[in-house]
Amino acid sequence: MDSPSWEAIRSSVLSSEEKYHSGDLESVKRSFENMHDLLIKTAQLPRTAMLLNEMVEYLNQFRSETVAHPNRCIEAIKEHQRIVGAIGRLDTDGAIEENKAHLHQAKTWMIEHYSSY
């Protein structure tokens, strides 16, 4: 993963906390989207890519809401940084575990967030 796109996404994810604190929430959301897109392409998961493409509107809405909630946004940024860090170290098992934890946290937050409506 030495491609320019990997370096760009790594840099974007690692700087997303600074972007968040400066109020640039749109850049944070874009870094979330870019990271997910790159990981799917890199992992060569066509069925997952097709499923996510069908759900893109829902995912974008969820990401917008995540970015708008300070606690979840910071948690997601740190989760993304851990995933990218594991990938950068070529730690496949670590990246998988970090991703599982991220998905679990996102699901838990979504259930808690939407159950109050």
The residues spanned by each domain of the chain are: 4-115
pTM: 0.78
* Residues 29-65 pLDDT 10s: 888 888 777 777 766 777 877 877 777 778 778 888 8
Backbone phi and psi for residue 39, each to the nearest 5 degrees, phi listed first: -65, -40
CA angle, 111 then 26 then 95, to 5°: 60
CA 17 to chain centre: 12
**Can you name the CATH fold of 4-115?**
Four Helix Bundle (Hemerythrin (Met), subunit A) (1.20.120)
Query: Alpha-carbon Rg of the chain, whole angstroms?
Result: 14
CA 53 to chain centre: 15
Cβ partners under 8 Å of residue 100, min gap 6: none
CA–CA distance, 24 with 81 (Å, rounded to integer): 17
Does the pLDDT of residue 110 top 70, yes or no?
yes
- Please state the rounded mean pLDDT for residues 17-38: 86
